[in-house]
Amino acid sequence: MPFSLRAARLPVLAALFAVLTALLTVTPAHAASGSISGLAGKCVDVAGANAANGTAVQLYDCNGTGAQLWSNSGDGTLRALGKCLDVVDRSTADGAAVQLWDCNGGANQQWVVSAARDIVNPAANKCLDVRDNNSANGTRLQIWTCAGTANQKWNAPASGGGGTPSGFVVSEAQFNQMFPNRNAFYSYSGLVAALSSYPGFANTGSDTVKKQEAAAFLANVNHETGGLVYVVEQNTANYPHYCDWSQSYGCPAGQAAYYGRGPIQLSWNFNYKAAGDALGLDLLNNPWLVQNDASVAWKTGLWYWNTQSGPGTMTPHNAMVNQAGFGQTIRSINGSLECDGRNPAQVQSRVDAYNRFTSILGVAPGGNLYC
């Protein structure tokens, strides 16, 4: 708180059909394509190279055909033969099979290819898995609770370098993987809408630095909100504490109105005043905007991240852009209560989230993780 992704060998005609289907399919720009190999060096394969909805997706000897050519376009989908890898019936249960289906934007067609070589469906928070750890040709693929086992490890094409549709370095699928239990209030669209207020955020320096900054911000947010679960501060007894009557403008919304809200848990009347002035919003008189409007909530978090040093010596944005390290972001958010040995468990919680999020984004965390 501030002060915080054969059947027996194919006959020639079937192979030609698969190639023509792939050529005629319009896929998003910059898509990276290739086979997805896994258990026993075998490939993710569309049974019989059949592009019909509901065709089983299976494990099979790698053969370089269109039935095994998958594109990772950066929009969260994995596509073959012009259709998407899809969880049957939108199930989120262990053992739900995967299939080929028309791309429709559903959450059951979203996949994150992590740096740890997992292919995760964020809606289920489960991994693409070879059923029963069986490497025989034709074994059906499914989703299952991620366990780090060999039947869940894949070598997949990286996302094409075109960025995400939103322009943010974190895709919606990655965001959902980071926060599988998040409160619906903390929407991805709200975050994306807020980015225009601070265009330098996660948009400065190399691609690595951009992703590290995004991961750092979201890791601190994760800690402040219990995984994007809490919109407001839970300890109501603290609410009257956040009014500093020495400020000339006082507390017009009421002494108990300036409690922690939003992704960084903005608190104190003077912080509401400063954030509102910067954002062109009257948060001093209407602090409830932060808990009622997702875009406003995200903007206050970005305001603090990009402009405030708190108890630290630099803004969290500058700490990441100038490679001072993740630890300095902790210091600027809650260093007076956590850093220099004051609360190592809280620091470790933030560092663990940062390491997890950088892994999802496929970048190294860098050094100086602690404060």
Active-site positions read 224
In degrees, rounded to 5, the angle at the alpha carbon of residue 34 between the alpha carbons of residues 17 and 165 is: 100
Q: Are 292 and 27 in contact (CB under 8 A)?
A: no
Helix or strand run (H / E) with residue 126: strand 126-130
CA 321 to CA 196: how far, in whole Å? 18
CA 268 to CA 310: how far, in whole Å? 13
The single-letter DSSP state of residue 11 is: P
**Secondary structure (3-state) at 355:** helix
Q: Between β-strands 126-130 and 119-121, what pairing exists: parallel, antiparallel or unpaired?
A: antiparallel
- In angstroms, the Cα distances linking 210 to 15, 112, 322 are 42, 18, 11
Q: Are 195 and 218 in contact (CB under 8 A)?
A: no
CA 240 to CA 253: how far, in whole Å? 12
CA 353 to CA 363: how far, in whole Å? 14
**Secondary structure (3-state) at 38:** coil
Among 264, 322, 318, 320, which residue's Cα sits nearest to residue 296?
264
Q: Which residues have CB under 8 Å from 203's CB, separation 6+?
A: 169, 210
Q: Are 258 and 243 in contact (CB under 8 A)?
A: yes
